[in-house]
Structure 1
Amino acid sequence: MTNKRKNTDKIELGKGDALIVIDIQNDFLSGGSLAVPEGDQVIPVLNGYIDQFINRQLPVLVTRDWHPANHCSFIRQGGPWPEHCIAGSKGAEFAADLHLPVSAKIFSKATEAGQEDYSDFANPTFKEQLDNVEASRLFIGGLATDYCVLSTVLDALNYHYKVLLLTDAIRAVNVRPQDGENAINEMIQKGAIPITLAIIR
């Protein structure tokens, strides 16, 4: 990690903060139909962030791909991806070792056969929930860096949220070798602040 990726100032959590956990689903993990390289490594780190937010009674929002069986993103429908995260399937379930609190709010995206959605903001109830909890600072991590994390972070910045990118809790698909690196650079250039769990207090 280069110096521009490090933010060593301690961050105090408080009112207005919300944690966004993106797509920690079986199909994106080891053995899944669209496994993200090293995707499993983000789970214990995300659990650490979740614990910090729950201990302070701060909101945790969890998102998932929830595709119909004929979703347009699938190869047999002309899309780029193997079938994954079909609604109600084992592959669409959250990782068993992700410590989801009972208070977590779950949001589904890409639920229509003819529409691909990478950003969590594609589900209008997601933004409504952020408004309900008066969120102003979003801590965003999950899978994958170069798709759903990137799209969600850019939309959040466009909505004028302060975004903290959990660089220790994201991993990339890397269809092209530099996709993840380029996505991180773009998010930081657009205003996201890179952080790690070690500086949360």
Structure 2
Amino acid sequence: MIRDLNPAPGHVLVIIDPQVDFCPGGALAVPGGDEVMPLVNAIARRFDHVVITQDWHPPTQVSFATNHPGAEPYGLAKLAYGDQVLWPDHCVQGTPGAAFHPDLDVPHAELVLRKGYNPHVDSYSAFYENDRTTPTGLAGYLRERGFRRCWFVGLALDFCVRYSAEDAVREGFAAVVIPDACRAIDLNGSLADTWRAFERLGVVVVEPPLAA
């Protein structure tokens, strides 16, 4: 139960991309994405420290299928930094789809981190762009604040949540994912790959799922 979740000093909740376009009716809807908002709110109330990430793409974002003539959404493109899934246009800067979902209620969040604004590189992770070398600055922020353990919730479990948790470990933080407060896309086995990656890297998955 949520009442049993008692974060210790040095713990921070990272809410990944709780945005309109990732919820039903949005441009890149994650099935059931809107369903997690009440639980995310309840979890956030247990944390003194919260970070929220926000996809913030220019219309020219290289990961948009519309910027590759003849390409279809959910296909792959070989870019300078490797294979990139091509997505429907989503979370375009300043559009209603880029806004936080109206059911999100986390007024005490201390940082909103925008990512994916580089037109030449997508950014799944809260820590690194998809070239795996360009940092977002989140690791430095967390270290300066004295945080040691990151808890992750949000959208989508098998992309932005996954890579954020993996990079937290890479940067020396303990990482915990609460799957009941996430939803997945599950593209070409991506969800199964996520569970294997978490096990391999030591990302803690909280089970059984928490209840509001």
TM tier relative to shorter chain: 0.7 to 0.9
Q: TM-score, normalised by structure 2?
A: 0.82
Q: In 2, are the aligned partners of 1:48 and 1:197 still within 8 Å (CA)? A: no
1:24-55, Cα deviation, whole Å (9 max, x unpaired)? 100000100100011112111111111111xx
1:84 to 80, 90, 93: 90
**Which residue identity is paired with 2:25?**
G
Q: In the aligned structure 1, how far is the partner of 2:155 from the partner of 2:139?
A: 19
Instruction: Report how far residue 11 of structure 1 moved.
Output: 5.1
1:3: which partner in 2? none
User: Aligned ranges for residues 1-201 of structure 1 at < 5 Å?
Assistant: 12-53=6-47, 58-78=48-68, 80-122=86-128, 123-176=135-188, 178-195=189-206, 196-198=209-211
Determine which structure has the larger helix proportion and give its number.
1
Residues 1:23 and 1:68: Cα distance change in structure 2 (over 3 Å)? same
How many residue pairs get matched?
185
Alpha-carbon distance in structure 2 between the residues aligned to 1:159 and 1:26: 29
After superposing on structure 2, the runs of 4+ consecutive aligned residues of structure 1 that deviate more than 6 Å are none
**DSSP-derived class of the 2:114 partner:** strand
By how many angstroms is 1:146 displaced?
1.4
Distance 2:37 2:183 in 1: 11
Q: Is the 2:16–2:53 Cα contact (8 Å) retained in structure 1?
A: yes
What percent of counterpart residues are identical? 32
Unaligned 5+ runs, structure 2: 69-76, 78-85, 129-134
Q: Shift of residue 88 of structure 1?
A: 0.8
SS of alignment partner, residue 120 of structure 1: coil
State the TM-score, normalized to the length of structure 1: 0.86
